Amino acid sequence: MNYFKNQISKLWTRGAFHIFIGSFLSKFIAFFGSIFLVRVLSKNSYGILSYIENIYGYIYIFAGLGLGNALLRYVILGKTIEEKYGYYKYSIKTSTLFNIILAFIIFIGSLYYPHPYEFESAKWLLSLIVLAIPFHYLITSNSLAYRAMIDNKKYAYVTFITSVTLIVGRYIGAILFGLNGVIVAKIIINVFFGILLCYLIYKSYFMNVNPYTLDKYVKKTVNRYSIQYMITNGIWTIFMLNDVFMLSFLTGSASIVADYKVAYVLPANISIISSAIGVFIGPYFVQHENDKRWVWQNYKKTLLANIGLISPAVMIMFIFANPIITILFGQQYQNVSNIMRLLIISAFVNSGFRYISAHLLSSMGEIKYNMIISFLGVIFQIAINFIAIPIYGSIGAAFTSIVVYMFMALALSVVFIRKYKFSS
């Protein structure tokens, strides 16, 4: 009993529970925020919003060239506060410049993109929403900077506050101005927090600190890691976005897209636990990446804890899918319960098995394996969906996710075992 008390005390001191609580509350509020939007917006408008945000997701893959993720590795590895500031400053300045250029290019290009007829009204809203990209990325990068400084409590507070504000703002915008209000609220809130967090990070850690100037070799190392991480995350993001995009493209129906998005809301939130675990343990695995015994022992503990915590939520959602859908989203979405059950199985494989291996491999610099496996997964997904969606619609897309997630989870587990398994 004393052992468990000591372990819990250590986790509390290190901020583990703050991360769990902050991540859970943020996701929980985002979950209910999506429910409110579904009820406020018409089915057609919600389908169009899903289409716009899906394309935004594709664009955001390239945001900042992945330099925000470098913070979580190189700021941790920085030996002095000057060196940490040097990595932070280089990442923020370079990524922001790139994002401004990216937003301008997409703003112009989106005006000429040939949208499907039912989504033609999305043209101007898509051009508008890309203005949020530079500031959205500043929020992401500065949140990671708190983690890199092992300031878990502030990370949790910032994640929670920004999430709550964004959800509430989008909801108010939807009530007042419909779909247009959702988009405008997203832009305003991202601008505010993007600028505010830069100031708070500087004031908290780097005020009166002269940043270490990175030489060309160090910049190349950081850039190479960042771009590899961007590609890996990008491939993974594409995987998650492809179902909605291919349903839009192959069916041309905003209603089908809305159904699939609603069916995906609950399964997507299964990742609350695994992502919170990943955020907390990642820096510690980076610090011990050369100690195979430590990595292997803690990998097994982490994987088992993750699966154990996820399983009850999965079983409850699977068994009570139909009443949950009806209560939360209304009678108009009652038809999506079977799709949701398939997506719950898919999410369990993804969050329970794939995520931990992929996250830790990337954190410890072994990005190439994750990148290759993710790329193969996307190829399989696209190929299977082109066959499955025209025949089975949303059900086909959900089945595809299960098959491909199983492949990716197995492949990543094999890689991790071969790289880090330690026989004592």
For residue 363, the tally of other CB atoms under 10 A from its CB is 22
256: in domain: yes
Among 214, 239, 267, the domain-final residue is 214
The one-letter amino acid code at 172 reads I
Nearest-5° Cα angle at 249, 140 to 355: 40
> DSSP secondary-structure letter at 333?
G
Q: Measure the CA–CA gap between 386 and 396, rounded to whole angstroms.
A: 10
For 87-122, give the DSSP string. Answer: HHHHHHHHHHHHHHHHHHHHHHHHTT----GGGTTH
All residues at 6 or more sequence positions from 47 whose CB lies less than 8 Å from its CB, including other chains: 253, 254, 255, 256, 257, 258, 261
Q: pTM for the full model?
A: 0.69
Domain-located, residue 280: yes
178 and 240 assigned to the same domain: no
Unique residue bearing structure tokens 């990337």: 362
Alpha-carbon span 168 to 40, nearest angstrom: 13
Domain contains 1 = no
Query: Residue 323 is encoded by which pair of tokens?
Result: 């009443």
Using the structure block, give the residue that is written with the tokens 């990070």: 201
Residues 247 and 339 in one domain: yes
Helix spans in 41-71 (H): 43-60, 67-70
Distances in Å between the Cα of 359 and the Cα atoms of 24, 37, 155, 280, 286 are: 19, 31, 18, 11, 11
Mean pLDDT estimate for the chain: 83
Same domain, yes or no: 234 and 139: no
**Measuring CA to CA, how many Å separate 367 from each of 198, 228, 231, 357, 360?**
28, 7, 9, 11, 9
pLDDT at 3: 42
Looking at the structure, tell me whether residues 381 and 413 fall in a common domain.
yes
Q: Of the residues 152, 187, 214, which one is the last residue of a structural domain?
A: 214
Q: Please, what's the b/e burial string for 43-67 (b: 16 or more CB within 10 A of its CB; e: otherwise)?
A: bbbbbbbbbbbbbbeebbbbbbbbb
- Residues 128 and 244 both lie in one domain: no
pLDDT of residue 30: 59
Structure-block tokens of residue 193 = 């927090």
Is the same domain home to 231 and 177? no
**Tokens 């590895």, residue?**
77
pLDDT of residue 113: 77
Residue 4 belongs to some domain of the structure:
no
Q: Which residues of the chain have pLDDT under 70?
A: 1-35, 117-118, 236, 240, 422-424
pLDDT given for residue 311 in this prediction: 92
One domain, residues 233 and 207: no
Residue 3 in domain: no
Rounded CA gap, 124 and 54, in Å?
15
pLDDT of residue 25: 59
d(C-alpha 347, C-alpha 327), whole Å? 22
| Distance, CA of 269 to CA of 275 (rounded, Å) | 10
* 26: in domain: yes
The total number of structural domains that make up the chain: 2
Residues 277, 416, single domain; the answer is yes
Cα distances (angstroms) measured from residue 262 to each of 28, 41, 43, 316, 317: 15, 13, 10, 18, 14
Distance, in Å, from the CA atom of 197 to the CA atom of 143, rounded to the nearest integer, reads 8
Ramachandran sector of residue 207 (left: φ over 0; alpha: ψ -120 to 50; beta: rest): beta
Contact 138, 92 (CB under 8 A): yes
| Same-domain pairing of 230 and 196 | no
134 within domain boundaries: yes
d(C-alpha 106, C-alpha 104), whole Å: 6
For residues 284 and 386, state if they share a domain: yes
Residue 45 structural domain: 15-214
Residue 10 lies in a domain: no
Q: Is the domain of 276 the same as that of 177?
A: no
User: What SS3 state is found at 153?
Assistant: helix
Domain boundary among 184, 214, 244: 214
Residue 87 corresponds to which tokens in the numbers above?
Answer: 């990595």
Half-sphere CA count of 289, side-chain side, radius 13 A: 14
Are residues 245 and 177 located together in one domain of the fold?
A: no
Distance CA 344, CA 48 (A): 24
Q: Give the residue from 69, 127, 124, 128 showing the smallest Cα distance to 95.
A: 69
